């Protein structure tokens, strides 16, 4: 099987136009005609997978403290929209199950990024993938990714027929190529705003799709595309789409 990913994936839903990692962001992406979205999943204290990026609650909610030390009962009381704009006041942090319902309803493909709190790399992947497997059967439109090689390894062992993506941090680990081979990934993720052409050439040697995050500048997207990057995570998918070269 060869992974067929769209050129543009809505980052954390559609993060330039709606609060990140919310159902509203997923709907916004769908309304814009985005084919796939990416979002982050981590666990509450009581092992409920929710859409959230940070280890702490402060940046995008009216809560305080660590997600890993907060129960879902407390998480669902939080408000997660007004930081972005008054019109989004009252928005809640969704569960993975709620998000999957929206994806299926709106016919969106998914890049699920496992974003474990420190020390929860294995269990976050196990819980998230177990729930995903109960609802999601379109394997052609699903990519499991993580910066954590432990989480990607769980995906490899639990769901061998699902596509996997190892996401590289800005500072690449020395053994990144060995990790990609060991994890049998279908794609590789790279920080696209500061990477070099030499780095992209190294990735091209793997002969796997290259996915760049987080690209909001159409000129940068076009340059990366000319280097051989296949797909772009963007907060503003419409802006980046207008900048890409059409390949027939």
Give the tens place of pLDDT for each residue, 17-52.
Answer: 999 999 999 999 999 999 999 999 999 999 999 999
- In tens, the pLDDT along 130-154 reads 999 999 989 999 999 999 999 999 9
Could you give the CA distance from residue 39 to residue 115 in angstroms, rounded to a whole number? 9
Inside any domain, residue 3: no
Inside any domain, residue 221: yes
CATH number reported for the structural domain that contains residue 33 in this entry: 3.20.20.190
Residue 201 parent element (H or E): helix 197-204
Whole-model pTM: value is: 0.96
End-to-end CA separation in angstroms for the chain: 22
- In tens, the pLDDT along 98-127 reads 999 999 999 999 999 999 999 999 999 999
Is 11 a catalytic site residue?
Answer: yes
The count of domains in the chain is 1
- Position 95 scores a pLDDT of 98
Is the CB of residue 63 less than 8 Å from the CB of residue 74? yes
**Could you list the residue range(s) of the whole structural domain that residue 123 is in?**
8-43+108-243
* Active-site residue, selected from the candidate residues 27, 53, 64, 248: 53
What mean pLDDT is predicted for residues 167-194?
A: 97
Inside any domain, residue 48: no
- In tens, the pLDDT along 72-99 reads 999 999 999 999 999 999 999 999 999 9
Burial 134-169 (b: 16+ CB within 10 A, else e): eebeeeebbbbbbbbbebbbbbbeebeebbbbbbbe
What mean pLDDT is predicted for residues 148-168?
A: 96
Inside any domain, residue 96: no
Q: What is the CA 230 to chain-centroid distance, rounded?
A: 16
Inside any domain, residue 222: yes
- Position 242 scores a pLDDT of 86
- Position 243 scores a pLDDT of 84
Inside any domain, residue 112: yes
Inside any domain, residue 87: no
Q: At what angle do helices 149-158 and 121-135 cross, to 10 degrees?
A: 40
Q: Does the pLDDT value for residue 247 go beyond 80?
A: no
Inside any domain, residue 103: no
* Active-site residue, selected from the candidate residues 11, 27, 64, 139: 11
Is 53 a catalytic site residue?
Answer: yes
Confidence of residue 248 (pLDDT cuts 50, 70, 90): very low
Q: What is the CA 235 to chain-centroid distance, rounded?
A: 11
- In tens, the pLDDT along 185-228 reads 999 999 999 999 999 999 999 999 999 999 999 999 999 999 99
- Position 3 scores a pLDDT of 80
Could you give the CA distance from residue 198 to residue 7 in angstroms, rounded to a whole number? 21
**Backbone φ and ψ of 180, nearest 5°:** -60, -40
């Amino acid at each position: 099987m060869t992974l067929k990913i769209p050129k543009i994936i809505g980052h954390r839903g559609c993060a330039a136009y709606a609060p990140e990692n919310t159902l509203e962001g997923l709907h916004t992406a769908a309304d814009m005609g985005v084919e796939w979205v990416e979002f982050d999943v981590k666990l509450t204290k009581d092992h409920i997978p929710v859409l959230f990026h940070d280890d702490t609650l402060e940046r995008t909610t009216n809560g305080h403290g660590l997600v890993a030390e907060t129960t879902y009962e407390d998480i669902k009381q939080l408000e997660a929209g007004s930081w972005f704009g008054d019109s989004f006041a009252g928005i809640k942090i969704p569960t993975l199950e709620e998000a999957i319902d929206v994806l299926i309803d709106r016919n969106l493909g998914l890049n699920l990024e496992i974003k474990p709190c420190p020390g929860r790399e294995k269990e976050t992947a196990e819980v998230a993938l177990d729930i995903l497997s109960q609802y999601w059967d379109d394997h052609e439109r699903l990519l499991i990714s993580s910066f954590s090689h432990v989480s990607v390894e769980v995906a490899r062992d639990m769901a061998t027929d699902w596509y996997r993506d190892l996401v590289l941090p800005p500072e690449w680990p020395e053994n990144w190529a060995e990790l990609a081979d060991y994890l049998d990934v279908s794609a590789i993720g790279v920080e696209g705003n500061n990477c070099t052409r030499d780095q992209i050439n190294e990735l091209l040697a793997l002969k796997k799709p290259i996915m760049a995050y987080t690209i909001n500048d159409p000129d940068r997207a076009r340059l990366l595309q000319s280097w051989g990057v296949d797909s772009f995570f963007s907060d503003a998918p419409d802006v980046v789409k207008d900048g890409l070269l059409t390949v027939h």
